Amino acid sequence: MSPTIFPLVLTDLAYGAGGHDLLKSISMEIQATGRTLILGPNGAGKSLLLRLCHGLLSPTAGRITWHEHSQDDAMGAQAMVFQRPVMLRRSVAGNVAYALAGRGVGRVDRHRRVAEVLRRTGLTAKAKLPARVLSGGEQQRLALARAWVVRPQVLFLDEPSANLDPAATRRIEDVILEIQASGTKIVMTTHDLGQARRLGEDILFLCGGRLVERKPAAAFFSGPESPEAVAFLAGQLTW
């Protein structure tokens, strides 16, 4: 594996659009271990923060630094899965192979790695089907496979099970745990408290574009400090 890109350090990060401050002075550090969950109500800026960290957006103020890497170099060691999976108009296997071809992986090696990641995500039987005829849950698993196959150091997940039923959600979570077990750092947004309790180790609580609270999961759920987090956990935070 290439040298680590961690830690990720955000310094006074801000992002605005159309005269609105959507994220305000966020400073934090993310380490290579554990699952970091970004929690918060709709419109808190969770997806935005993920896109900024991944380099899809540029901050309007402040800095994002990866250990001794420029943002462009570091992007090659990252992958992202979006809330609505983007399915290329190709077969299931073709979608996964595309990600590898983009990283310059040779044909023979590509074939082997595609087969392996499809097996581990339970999609082997569907390998030859057009990706866009899969069910929502299968499409999201394919998106995970496509991200996993490049062996990223960090995987950003933007509400990966937002539109799925409980069974499909559980399968997605199982795959995420497997990806982490293979050595990839997980950074994930969710507004689903149940999911946050199941997967969370390191909780970042975002509200109104600010990083309101950060704690280990157990401490966060048993004793939130900020009034916003208390209200959110009680299901009373309305926007």
Partner 1 sequence: MNDFATAFAHAFAMIGAFDPDLVSIVALSLQVSLSAVAIAALIGLPLGAAIALFRFPGVGMLAVLLNAMMSLPPVVVGLIVYLLISRAGPLGVLGLLFTPTAMIFAQVLLVMPIIAALTRQVVVDLWDEYGELLRSLGIGRGRTMATLLWDGRARVLSVVLAGLGRAMAEVGAVMIVGGNINHVTRVMTTTIALETSKGNLTLALGLGIVLLGISLLINGTIYAIGNAASRRGSL
Of residues 26 and 79, the one with the C-beta less far from partner 1: 79
Q: Whose CA is closest to 188, among 77, 179, 150?
A: 179
Q: Counting contacts by CB under 8 A, is residue 99 touching partner 1?
A: yes
Would you say 13 and 63 are in contact if contact means Cβ atoms under 8 Å apart?
yes
Binding mask 148-187 for partner 1 (x = CB under 8 A): --x-------------------------------------
Does 117 participate in binding partner 1 (rule CB under 8 A)?
no
Q: Does 79 bind partner 1 (CB under 8 A)?
A: yes
Cβ-based nearer residue to partner 1, 82 or 220: 82
Q: How far is the CB of 100 from partner 1 (least distance, A)?
A: 10
Distance, CA of 127 to CA of 142 (rounded, Å): 10
Using CB under 8 A, which of the segments 78-86, 161-169, 171-179, 198-206 binds partner 1?
A: 78-86
- Of 28, 42, 29, the C-alpha closest to 209 is 42
Site pattern 26..65 for partner 1 (x: CB under 8 A): -------------------------x--x-x---------
Interaction of residue 233 with partner 1, rule CB under 8 A: no
Q: Is residue 158 helix, strand or coil?
A: strand
Query: Does 69 sit near partner 1 (CB under 8 A)?
Result: no
Q: Which of 102, 183, 194, 216 binds partner 1 (CB under 8 A)?
A: 102
Residue 25 backbone zone (phi > 0: left; psi -120 to 50: alpha; other: beta): left
DSSP per-residue letters across 82-115: -SS----SSBHHHHHHHHHHHTT--HHHHHHHHH
Q: Is 176 in contact with 144 (CB distance < 8 Å)?
A: yes
Which range touches partner 1 (CB under 8 A), out of 125-133, 193-201, 212-220, 230-238?
Answer: 125-133
CA–CA gap between residue 144 and residue 118 (Å, rounded): 10
Note whether 82 binds partner 1 by CB under 8 A.
Answer: yes
Q: Quick one: which H or E segment has residue 197?
A: helix 193-199
Binding residues for partner 1 (CB under 8 A) = 51, 54, 56, 75-76, 78-80, 82, 86, 88-90, 98-99, 102-103, 130, 132-133, 150
